[in-house]
A = this chain, B = another copy of it.
């Protein structure tokens, strides 16, 4: 098992709310990019290479990104050694003061939801954010929201995903109903002295719906937004300005394959890709402010 960070470091992280840490980093480093770290077994010759490359991409791109988002599916596909790597990635991110979004899309009922929340929002994951699937009902979000509040973490609830088939079950007003509930919940979770105007109740909205982003921003005034779909899924930085609050905060845009595997396993190319996405997002925001 990988060593946990020092208790003090963990407590310090947990004392500042997630949205405050995310906003602080966005403004300090002028970046709205979220680094997806999804180690794909078939890209490597063995686990040692996979581990080294994944950690190297994290370290080399850290200064370019607002946060990091490991997609749990790829770690689970590696079995027990994948879970060990995930702990190592999270420990490295904490040491780099990078906010962590665990992309797990968990969702269950009652004491099972509470067990998931404990697993990914407390203990060595205190202060992290977790993506959550709301399909089982609004009451099932509460254990996640409570655990996040206790540990300075956050939840990012699926509102409208980036894939073509999202409308099958998210259409017909469902995404809008989820957003309404998140706004209600988020208002209750707004930190009084936070200063960001953002709560610990975030939302996932696909970057692949650019015409709708300004509308989702209005519907979710207090929600940090996570926008997946940059790069491999076709979303372009220049279309995403509508998702941000006036100060250029309140949202992060994630790319995974488009960074980590920008050109095979070439880490310099990964850094260059991250730089390109970061700059593209900043240029889009600047243009939007001038208009």
Residues of A within 8 A of B (CB): 1, 38, 40, 71, 73-74, 76-77, 79-81, 83-84, 87, 105-113, 115-116, 118-120, 123-124, 133-140, 158, 161-170, 172, 174, 177-178, 181
User: Are A140 and B163 in contact, CB atoms less than 8 angstroms apart?
Assistant: yes
User: Are B77 and A109 in contact, CB atoms less than 8 angstroms apart?
Assistant: no
User: Are A115 and B169 in contact, CB atoms less than 8 angstroms apart?
Assistant: no
User: Are A112 and B38 in contact, CB atoms less than 8 angstroms apart?
Assistant: yes
A sample of 28 cross-chain residue pairs with beta-carbon separation below 8 angstroms, ordered by A number, consists of: A1-B79, A1-B81, A71-B108, A71-B115, A73-B113, A74-B112, A76-B115, A76-B119, A76-B120, A77-B118, A79-B87, A79-B119, A80-B80, A107-B133, A107-B135, A110-B163, A134-B135, A134-B169, A135-B135, A135-B170, A136-B158, A136-B161, A136-B165, A137-B161, A137-B164, A137-B165, A138-B165, A172-B172
Q: Which residue of B lies closest to A120 (CB)?
A: B76
| A120 / chain B contacts, CB cutoff of 8 Å | 76
Cα–Cα, bound, A139→B164 (Å): 9
Cα–Cα, bound, A257→B162 (Å): 37
Q: A133-B107, A133-B133, A136-B161 are in contact. Are A119 and B167 (CB under 8 A)?
A: no
| A169 / chain B contacts, CB cutoff of 8 Å | 134-137, 169, 174, 177-178
CB distance from A272 to the nearest CB of B (A): 23
CB < 8 Å neighbour of A115 from B74, B106, B124: B74
User: Are B134 and A73 in contact, CB atoms less than 8 angstroms apart?
Assistant: no
Number of copies of this chain in the oligomer?
Answer: 2
Cα–Cα, bound, A124→B79 (Å): 9
| A167 / chain B contacts, CB cutoff of 8 Å | 137
The 5 A-B residue pairs with the shortest CB-CB distance in the complex, in nearest-first order: A137-B165, A135-B135, A139-B165, A73-B115, A76-B119
| A1 / chain B contacts, CB cutoff of 8 Å | 79-81
Cα–Cα, bound, A83→B172 (Å): 39
Q: Which residue of B lies closest to A118 (CB)?
A: B77
Q: Which residue of B lies closest to A74 (CB)?
A: B115
Cα–Cα, bound, A181→B169 (Å): 11
| A80 / chain B contacts, CB cutoff of 8 Å | 1, 80, 83-84, 87
